[in-house]
């Protein structure tokens, strides 16, 4: 039986099968080893540079170094907008296992508002990998301590020291300087994203907005090496940022404070210019606000209070407030009438205290009719008309000139157009004409509207800055400059740009200025009250503009009218007359008349000219 089984076994065939299996196993092993060798070769030789780069990215990253914002100083170098150190807490999402939970912890510890969380999300959406996203800005020591004490238990949280904007003089300069605020998504739509990477603030209004490209500077970069936990080990390479440029203003801090004090609680505005350069020596809008509230984000309640106030503190009245100029335009109309031979300095008209258009029964009253019951005198010439602000004289002159001729002579003085001052939000005002009314209202012009325009009423609107610019033209006898707040950007002069001169006979200038001198220094001048004790000569012009119209036979009774419906008071002036060194325009909202404005101008001129004489 055993022999039979041995005879049936095929040993050769079994050996051939085993050898085939062995060869297949060896070949498979060789193939696997070949793949491993190839892969090893690929990793170590062929793709070495690529993987080294990826490895470096895990431990080396690029950080943006934001530039230091340029500072703003007054004409004497005193800091008006500075940079102060503050702490910022940020989040690096890649370093945290649960970024959402980390944000929740910070929200609780730092009492983050919905607005701060929204801003954090907006920044997160445009961040780069491993970039810290600020979540809380402007921390004080107490708030910082609530996080710093457990910082080692909060992977992904970073604390950074940065410089932020500070306005040491608060409300006194807010309308001049403007303010910076947090960079928003809307801002980034207009700004260069790369240039503003790492920057938390940008100019929103005023000089901060107007000169943003110069104040901001250029960011720098540094390559840093970190360990696996993100801790910085060393700086490998660094490119320093370029700081923003500094602004030196024409503005004088002492005069600005004097103007604020002179205006007091009165709603209104003051503009003081240097007639030799057009530089803004002082610019005040009252009431004001504290620009520091906006730097790190104003609260909803504070902003609602500012926005909802009847006193409109956010409005820069100096360049955005538009008011009927009243009688302050009379010297300008006089110059145009002299140049076009509508009058001479000796032209006289009868003054019964009112004026009537031919064929019209309506009487346009002079302000003296209410006070004296009659006119200024039996007849009035140009000098008296300016000194005593004779409405009847200008009613007659306006009727003879016509509205279009008046618009043509007022336009070169800068009315009805922006001055070009280097700030934001400036308004045009309105210089009415037949073409303007047809375009704006679709209506014809009526003769009675010309009468109102002759004394700066009706449709005519100006800003205090426009009135100051017009007074500068008077002070310089036709020469003027584009008003400028900034004198120099670092060492580059940017102010002092001349406007086209207004050619006119010297005798015409002298005739009008003589009337303006009498406004202050004549016993019957409308601003004679400010002449007492003055040690220099002032040329000025008072103005009163109506807020509500008064019926023809009604009498203006200030006590019977609500405070916000009372007349505005205006005053423009320059001094000293023969060598002007300051031009001032004042608007006293609802002040009742020019008596609320002229003392403000006198106080400002005293402060400036006394300082100049002391120097």
394-430 per-position pLDDT tens digit: 999 999 999 999 999 999 999 999 999 999 999 999 9
Q: Distance between CA 252 and CA 270 in Å, rounded?
A: 14
Say if CB 40 and CB 48 are below 8 A apart. no
Tell me how far the alpha carbon of residue 615 is from its chain's centroid.
32
Q: Is 549 a catalytic residue?
A: no
Q: Which pLDDT score is estimated for 322?
A: 97
285, 327, 452, 594: which is the annotated catalytic residue? 327
**DSSP 8-state secondary structure symbol assigned to residue 230:** -
Confidence of residue 474 (pLDDT cuts 50, 70, 90): very high
Q: Is the pLDDT of residue 328 over 80?
A: yes
Q: Which pLDDT score is estimated for 48?
A: 66
Q: Which pLDDT score is estimated for 227?
A: 63
Q: Which pLDDT score is estimated for 34?
A: 81
Between the ranges 14-28, 103-117, 593-607, where is the mean pLDDT highest?
593-607
109-140 per-position pLDDT tens digit: 777 777 778 777 777 776 666 667 777 777 76
Q: Which pLDDT score is estimated for 553?
A: 52
Which residues lie below 8 Å from residue 100, measured CB to CB, with a gap of 6+? Answer: none
Provide φ and ψ at 127, rounded to 5°. -80, 165
Percent of the chain with pLDDT over 70: 90
- Write out the DSSP string of 341-394: TS--TT--EE-SSEE--TT----EE-HHHHHTSS-SSSEE-HHHHHHTT-HHHH
As given in the structure block, the two tokens for residue 322 are 């538009």
- 459-to-231, 255, 422, 431, 449 alpha-carbon distances in Å: 68, 34, 27, 8, 8
Q: Is the pLDDT of residue 483 over 70?
A: yes
Confidence of residue 252 (pLDDT cuts 50, 70, 90): very high
Q: Which residue has the higher pLDDT, 124 or 607?
A: 607
Q: Which pLDDT score is estimated for 564?
A: 81
In DSSP terms, which residues pair with 582 in a beta bridge? 575
Q: Distance between CA 215 and CA 211 in Å, rounded?
A: 6
Q: Distance between CA 570 and CA 556 in Å, rounded?
A: 18
Confidence of residue 469 (pLDDT cuts 50, 70, 90): very high
- 153-to-62, 96, 160, 283, 609 alpha-carbon distances in Å: 25, 11, 17, 52, 64
- Average pLDDT taken over every residue of the chain: 88
Q: Which pLDDT score is estimated for 185?
A: 78
Confidence of residue 33 (pLDDT cuts 50, 70, 90): confident
Confidence of residue 453 (pLDDT cuts 50, 70, 90): very high
Provide φ and ψ at 159, rounded to 5°. -115, 130
Q: Which pLDDT score is estimated for 229?
A: 55
Q: Which pLDDT score is estimated for 430?
A: 98
As given in the structure block, the two tokens for residue 541 are 């012009």
Which residues lie below 8 Å from residue 406, measured CB to CB, with a gap of 6+? Answer: 333, 336, 398, 450, 453, 454
493-505 per-position pLDDT tens digit: 999 999 999 999 9
pTM of the model: 0.83
Q: Distance between CA 120 and CA 91 in Å, rounded?
A: 9
144-175 per-position pLDDT tens digit: 777 777 776 777 777 777 788 999 999 999 99
Count the alpha carbons within 13 Å of 39 in the hemisphere toward its beta carbon: 6
As given in the structure block, the two tokens for residue 217 are 């500077």
**Burial label, 391 (beta-carbon count in 10 A; 0-12, 13-18, 19+):** buried
105: how many CB neighbours lie within 10 A of its CB? 15
Domains present along the chain, CATH in parentheses: 62-247 (3.90.1310.10), 253-299+322-614 (3.40.710.10)
- CA-CA-CA-CA dihedral for 226, 227, 230, 235, to nearest 10: -10
Say if residue 78 is preceded by a cis peptide, omega within 30 of 0: no
Q: Distance between CA 417 and CA 431 in Å, rounded?
A: 8
Provide φ and ψ at 529, rounded to 5°. -65, -25
Confidence of residue 510 (pLDDT cuts 50, 70, 90): very high
Q: Is the pLDDT of residue 50 over 70?
A: no
Comparing CA positions, the residue from 585, 540, 542, 594 lying closest to residue 566 is: 594
């Amino acid at each position: 039986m055993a022999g039979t089984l041995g005879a049936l076994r095929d040993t050769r065939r079994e050996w051939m099968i085993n050898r085939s299996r062995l060869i297949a196993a060896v070949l498979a092993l060789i193939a696997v080893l070949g793949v491993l060798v190839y892969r090893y070769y690929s990793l170590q030789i062929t793709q070495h540079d690529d993987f080294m780069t990826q490895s470096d990215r895990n431990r080396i990253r690029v950080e943006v170094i934001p530039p230091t914002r340029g500072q703003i100083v007054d004409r004497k170098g005193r800091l008006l907008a500075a940079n102060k150190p503050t702490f910022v807490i940020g989040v690096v999402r890649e370093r945290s296992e649960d970024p959402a939970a980390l944000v929740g912890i910070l929200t609780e510890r730092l009492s983050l508002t919905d607005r701060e969380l929204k801003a954090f999300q907006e920044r997160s959406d445009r961040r780069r990998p491993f970039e810290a996203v600020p979540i809380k800005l402007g921390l004080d020591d107490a708030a910082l301590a609530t996080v710093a004490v457990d910082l080692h238990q909060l992977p992904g949280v970073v604390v950074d020291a940065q410089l932020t904007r500070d306005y040491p003089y608060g409300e006194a300069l807010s309308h001049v300087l403007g303010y910076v605020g947090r960079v928003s998504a809307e801002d980034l739509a207009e700004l260069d994203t790369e240039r503003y990477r790492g920057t938390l603030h940008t100019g929103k209004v005023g000089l901060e907005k107007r000169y943003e490209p110069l104040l901001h500077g250029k960011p720098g970069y540094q390559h840093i090496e970190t360990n696996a936990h993100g801790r910085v080990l060393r700086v490998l390479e660094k490119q320093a940022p370029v700081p923003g440029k500094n602004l030196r203003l024409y503005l004088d801090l002492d005069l600005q404070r004097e103007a604020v004090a002179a205006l007091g609680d009165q709603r209104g505005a003051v503009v003081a210019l240097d007639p030799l350069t057009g530089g803004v020596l002082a610019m005040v809008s009252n009431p004001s606000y504290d620009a520091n509230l906006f730097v790190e984000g104003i609260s909803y309640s504070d902003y609602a209070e500012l926005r909802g106030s009847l006193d409109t503190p956010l409005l820069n009245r100096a360049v955005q407030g538009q008011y009927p100029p009243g009688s302050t335009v009379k010297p300008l109309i006089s110059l145009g009438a002299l140049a076009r031979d509508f009058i001479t300095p000796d032209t006289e008209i009868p003054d019964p205290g009112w004026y009537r258009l031919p064929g019209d029964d309506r009487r346009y009253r002079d302000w003296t009719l209410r006070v004296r019951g009659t006119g200024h005198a039996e007849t009035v010439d140009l000098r008296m008309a300016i000194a005593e602000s004779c409405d009847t004289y200008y009613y007659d002159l306006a009727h003879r000139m016509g509205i279009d001729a008046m618009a043509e002579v007022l336009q070169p003085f800068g009315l009805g157009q922006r001055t070009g001052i280097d700030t934001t939000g400036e308004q045009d005002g309105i210089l009415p004409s037949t073409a303007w009314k047809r375009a704006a209202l679709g209506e014809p012009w009526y003769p009675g509207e010309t009468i109102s325009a002759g004394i700066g009423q009706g449709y005519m609107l100006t800003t205090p800055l426009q009135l100051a610019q017009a007074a500068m033209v008077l002070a310089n006898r036709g020469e003027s400059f584009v008003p400028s707040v900034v004198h120099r950007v670092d060492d580059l002069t940017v102010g002092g740009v001349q406007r086209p001169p207004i050619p006119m006979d010297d005798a015409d200038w002298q005739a009008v200025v003589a009337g303006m001198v009498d406004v202050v220094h004549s016993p019957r001048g409308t601003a004679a009250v400010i002449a007492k004790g003055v040690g220099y000569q002032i040329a000025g012009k008072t103005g009163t503009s109506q807020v509500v119209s008064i019926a023809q036979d009604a009498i203006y009774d200030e006590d019977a009218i609500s405070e916000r419906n009372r007349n505005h008071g205006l005053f423009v002036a320059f001094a000293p007359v023969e060598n002007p060194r300051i031009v001032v325009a004042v608007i006293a909202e609802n002040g009742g008349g020019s008596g609320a404005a002229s003392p403000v101008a006198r106080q400002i001129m005293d402060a400036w000219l006394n300082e100049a004489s002391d120097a």
